[in-house]
Structure 1
C-alpha cells in the first residue's frame, strides 16, 4: 500500500503593519510626522475696527459714494457699452479725484461714449475732453491703444479676466479687479488703491509693513474673508477721503481712536 504524505508546507505569515495612532492635534489626512497646522494669522481687533468703520461710513456721503467709478457709466446703455465705460472711467480715475473723473466722464458721455466714437476721435479732441485728469496726455494714448485692442480682439467688449485686463495699456491690477467687480459682477480680488494701502498699514491689517498697493493686496487676501473683498475697497476709500486722511488724519473724530495702532491720542 502506498502511504499518503501530508504536506507540511506552512502558509507564510503576513507581515504586521504598525498601526499609526492618531494624536489629538492631527488633521484628517495629515501625513504621519507632519507638523500640525498653525492658526491663520489675523490682525488684532480687526473685526471691531471694521464694524466701527462701517458705522462711520453709514451716511455714504463721501466723494466715492456720489462720484465714484460705479456712478460714472450709463446704466441704460447696452451691457457691452456699459462695460467699456466702466473701464474708461477706471483708466481716468488713476491719480485723479473722483470729482474730476466724474466730470470728464460726463463730457465724454455727452458725445456718445462707445468704442467706435473714441476710435473716430482725434487725440487733441480727446485730450481737451478729459483734461484736467491726472497725466491726461498719457491717458489719451492709453485710451486710444486699449480701445483699438478691444475693437480688434474682443469685438468691442472688455476682457472678462484679470489676466487679460492687465495686459491692456494703462490698466493695472486695482483697475482690473474693480472692472471685474463692477462690469462683470465678479469678485476676483481686493482692489487696493492709495487709500486702502494707507489705512490697512495704519491699522496693521498687514503682517508686516508693505510699500506698494499690490503687496498690500496679496497680504490682505491671505487672511481677510473672501466675502468682504467686494466691500472693503468702497468702505476704506470713503473712510480715507473723510477721516483717515493722508496728511493730518482726523483721529479725534475717528471711532477707532482707542484701538488704532497709528492713532494720535
Structure 2
C-alpha cells in the first residue's frame, strides 16, 4: 500500500466537496476533525474557490498556509464590488438563487411594481407647473370693450380734462414733469378729478418741485391742496416722498414699480400709472374704484374680486397686454358718465343686452343710527321683506313732529326735608 497523506487528501477534497458522497463517509469525518482543531478555529480567513485557484498554488499548500496563519484577512474588494453590482442588477431583473442542496424557486419582483417605478415622475422644482394652465377669457368681452370705446369716443369725461395726464406742466424739465405726475396721482386717491385738478393748479402756481415742497411749511402746503381727501396725511406723504427723492434719486422719481411703491403714500395703482404716463412704460394695469366696480359688473372674472389689487391680477391673466394702457382711462371715464356707482344709467348703455348686471337696482346704504331715516328714530315700526332696505317717502318725513314743537314735562323735584 502506498503512503496516503490525509492532509493532502483533505485539501484536495475539502475545497471541492462532492454532493454525491454520503454524510457518514470517512472524508467527511476527517474534515470535521480538522475543522474543529485549534489551528483552524483561530484562523479567520475565508476560504473561497476563487482565492485558491487564482493564487496559482496547489490546494495542499493553500490549506497549509491558511491553517498556520494567525492574522485575519479581509475579503477582497472585488467580491464587494460584485455584490454591489449584483444588488443593483437584482433591483431591475429577476435573479435565481441556487442552494447547495438544489435550486430554489426564482425570486422575482412583480412586474406591476417595476412598471410603477418606471412611470413615476417627481418634480423637484415646485416653482414651475408640470402642465400648461388652460387659458380662460370672459364671454363677449371683446364686444363689450368695443361698445365702451364707442361710448367714450367723445373723451369729454372729467378724467380726460383733469386727470394725471393733464395736470403736469408741459414746459417744465422732464424730471419736474415726472414729479408732478406722481404728485397728482398721490392727491387723486379718494378724491374727484375736479378737486385734484384745482389743487394741482395751485401747486403749480406755487412751484411744484421737490425743492419748493421741502421748503414749504406744512400749514401752507395744507392750504394749497385743501380740500382733497385725507389732505393732512397727504401733506405728510408729500414731504416724506420729496425728501426721499432728493436724497436717493436726485430729485427724479424711480423708473420701476418696486422703487415707486417704496415711497410713502404710493400704492400699486399709482406706481403702474406713473410708469405709463411719466416713463412711457406699461408695467401693469392701474386699477382704481371705477375699474374694480365696472369689471365686476361686466362679469370679467371667474369669481368676483374683493379689492382693486385682486382685480388687477385677475385682469392681467387674460386681458391682452396691448390694452393695459387703455383700459384705465376708458373705464374711469365710462364710470364717471354712464356706469355710475349708484343708480347706473343702464338704459343709455350700449351693453345693456349683454351685461349681466344691467337694470339691477343698486344697493341702498343703511342709514346711520340717530339719523331721521334710521328705524330707531321712527315713531312706528315698519315691516320690510328680507333683503330689502327701509325706504321712506317725503310725506312720512313731513308727518314727523319737529323737535321745537314737542313739549316735555319736567318732573317735579321732591322737597328736601328741613334739617
Fold similarity call, TM over 0.5: yes
1:125 match: 220
TM-score, normalised via structure 2 length = 0.54
1:140 match: 235
Counterparts of 1:164 and 1:36 in 2: how far apart (Å)?
34
1:216 match: 311
Q: Deviations over 1:197-238 (max 9, x none)?
A: 000000111221001000000000000000000000010000
Counterparts of 2:186 and 2:130 in 1: how far apart (Å)?
47
Structure 1 unaligned spans of 5+? 1-33
Q: Say which structure, 1 or 2, has more relative contact order (CA 8 Å, 6+ apart).
A: 1
Alignment root-mean-square deviation, CA: 1.3
Alignment of 1:90-129 (within 5 A): 90-129=185-224
Counterparts of 1:54 and 1:255 in 2: how far apart (Å)?
10
Counterparts of 1:37 and 1:176 in 2: how far apart (Å)?
30
Counterparts of 1:38 and 1:153 in 2: how far apart (Å)?
42
Counterparts of 1:56 and 1:256 in 2: how far apart (Å)?
10
1:155 maps to which of 250, 253, 265: 250
Counterparts of 1:261 and 1:157 in 2: how far apart (Å)?
45
1:15 match: none
2:329 equivalent to 1:260: no
Task: Compute the displacement of 1:166 (Å).
Answer: 0.5
Counterparts of 1:208 and 1:245 in 2: how far apart (Å)?
22
Moved over 2 A (4+): 34-39
1:164 match: 259
2:154 maps to which of 43, 54, 59: 59
1:192 maps to which of 270, 273, 287: 287
TM-score, normalised via structure 1 length = 0.86
Q: Deviations over 1:157-177 (max 9, x none)?
A: 000100110011100000000
Structure 2 unaligned spans of 5+? 1-128, 361-419
1:179 match: 274
Counterparts of 1:106 and 1:41 in 2: how far apart (Å)?
44
